[in-house]
């Protein structure tokens, strides 16, 4: 996977953020990183963590993940001492009729990934909220989704335990019922917000993603 430092100025707190499929830092340009260093991970075509990910030394480290980033985080080999791990509108089973995205819907997105399909997808995730579109090529996004679909059929145990989850009541990607099924099964507290799949318009600061000021 790829990485980008959103902020790295020597704060005592680090937030590691696993972005959603097909996304980049442009989607979160409105968030202020005051008081926290932020490392963003994205593009899960290759699930291997960047080498720097396990050599970071901070007094306090939090993790947050969105959409397919929840799956990427859950099965990553991250070995850092994480104080909290928060999931936003995602589950650890990306393709599942009960706890994830319906397999038929997932296949339809993959098979129809073109300029028209891309615009339709962006409309679905934003709902009525403002949304800065990612600046990634179509083929790169499709390759990433294909890679995730191939790995998702593997039966391995997740390595990361999430401590809290947030779900958008109006999520049109990961249905609320699927998110409830996933987190209730694993005894992870779930908070439902009146938001679409992209629910980060309600936040102004990166630190809100782990301080739970909702």
* pLDDT 10s digits, 153-201: 776 678 899 999 999 999 999 999 999 999 999 999 999 999 999 999 9
- List the domain boundaries for the chain: 2-211
Phi-psi map region of 133: left, alpha, beta (phi>0 left; psi -120 to 50 alpha)? beta
Q: Compute the distance between CA of residue 47 and CA of residue 80 in angstroms, rounded to an integer.
A: 17
How high does pLDDT run on average in the chain? 94
* pLDDT 10s digits, 83-117: 999 999 999 999 999 999 999 999 999 999 999 99
Q: Compute the distance between CA of residue 62 and CA of residue 74 in angstroms, rounded to an integer.
A: 14
For domain 2-211, which architecture applies?
A: 3-Layer(aba) Sandwich (3.40)
Token duo for residue 126: 């934003």
């Amino acid at each position: 996977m790829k990485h980008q430092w959103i902020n790295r100025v020597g704060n005592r707190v680090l937030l590691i953020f696993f972005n959603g499929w097909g996304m980049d830092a442009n989607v979160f340009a409105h968030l202020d990183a005051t008081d926290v260093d932020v490392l963003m991970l994205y593009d899960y075509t290759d699930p291997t963590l960047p080498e720097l990910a396990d050599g970071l030394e901070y007094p306090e480290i939090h993790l947050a993940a969105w959409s397919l980033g929840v799956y990427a985080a859950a099965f990553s080999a991250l070995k850092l001492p994480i104080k909290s791990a928060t999931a936003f509108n995602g589950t650890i089973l990306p393709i599942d009729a009960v706890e994830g995205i319906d397999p038929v819907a997932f296949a339809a997105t993959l098979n129809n990934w073109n300029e028209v399909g891309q615009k339709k997808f962006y409309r679905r995730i934003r709902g009525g909220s403002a949304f800065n579109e990612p600046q990634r090529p179509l083929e790169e996004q499709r390759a990433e989704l294909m890679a995730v679909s191939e790995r998702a059929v593997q039966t391995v145990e997740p390595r990361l335990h999430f401590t809290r989850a947030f779900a958008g009541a109006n999520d049109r990607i990961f249905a609320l019922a699927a998110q409830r099924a996933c987190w209730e099964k694993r005894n992870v507290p779930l908070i439902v917000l009146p938001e679409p799949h992209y629910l980060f318009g309600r936040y102004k600061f990166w630190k809100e993603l782990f301080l739970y000021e909702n």
